[in-house]
């Protein structure tokens, strides 16, 4: 079974799968197709709810790897890779705050970018990002992306904010 629907706001919803999965997708779309409170010009759009093979946006049912995020952000070093990993944790794993070990695990998953030296220099990257006001340390070894950084990254990745 395969279908594509476009709502009045211009959002597209695509589905390809069997009937069992179809009922799950319909449940996710409930209320998102034709929301009477939504402006007709598409302003204040919500991200699509169903599977979308290319979106990779949070809330779309799809995900994006740390590798892909690093590519899209133009990662060129350890601090950039830290931000890519933090982006994955913040936007896709929906973690408000994350630990050093969680970030390191995500950095390691970006095999096209990660080198062992990044682990050795992680404290340096964190200090730099805190000084640059890209990251805040909420508690000891518990970090968050600053609001400004989240907005900047969301814009670069095309994530609705």
List the chain domain ranges.
Answer: 1-62, 66-157
The two structure tokens encoding residue 12: 């597209």
Topology (CATH) of 66-157: Arc Repressor Mutant, subunit A (1.10.10)
Q: What pLDDT sits at residue 148?
A: 96
Q: What pLDDT sits at residue 35?
A: 44
Q: What pLDDT sits at residue 136?
A: 96
Sequence-distant (≥ 6) Cβ neighbours of residue 64 within 8 angstroms = 56, 57, 72, 88, 92, 157
Q: What pLDDT sits at residue 46?
A: 39
Q: What pLDDT sits at residue 24?
A: 52
Q: State the pairing for strand pair 2-6/12-16.
A: antiparallel
Tokens 């034709």, residue located: 34
Q: What pLDDT sits at residue 51?
A: 38
Q: What pLDDT sits at residue 97?
A: 95
The answer to whether the predicted template modeling score (pTM) of the entire model surpasses 0.75 is: no
Which residues of the chain fall short of a pLDDT of 50? 32, 34-55
Q: What pLDDT sits at residue 44?
A: 38
Alpha-carbon separation of residue 129 from 6, 15, 78, 126, 140 (angstroms): 41, 40, 11, 5, 15
């Amino acid at each position: 079974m395969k279908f594509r629907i476009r709502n009045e706001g211009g959002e597209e919803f695509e589905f390809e799968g069997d009937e069992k999965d179809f009922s799950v997708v319909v449940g996710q779309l409930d209320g998102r197709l034709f929301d009477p409170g939504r402006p007709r010009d598409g302003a204040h759009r919500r991200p699509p709810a169903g599977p979308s093979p290319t979106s990779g946006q949070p809330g779309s049912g799809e995900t994006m790897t740390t590798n892909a995020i690093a590519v899209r952000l133009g990662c060129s070093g350890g601090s950039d890779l830290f931000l890519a990993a933090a982006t994955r944790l913040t936007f896709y794993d929906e973690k408000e705050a994350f630990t050093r070990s969680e970030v390191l695990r995500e950095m390691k998953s970006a095999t096209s970018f990660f080198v062992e030296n990044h682990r050795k220099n992680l404290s340096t990257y964190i200090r730099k990002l805190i000084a640059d006001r890209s990251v805040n340390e909420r508690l000891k070894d518990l970090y968050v992306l600053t609001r400004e950084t989240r907005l900047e990254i969301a814009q670069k990745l095309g994530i609705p904010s």
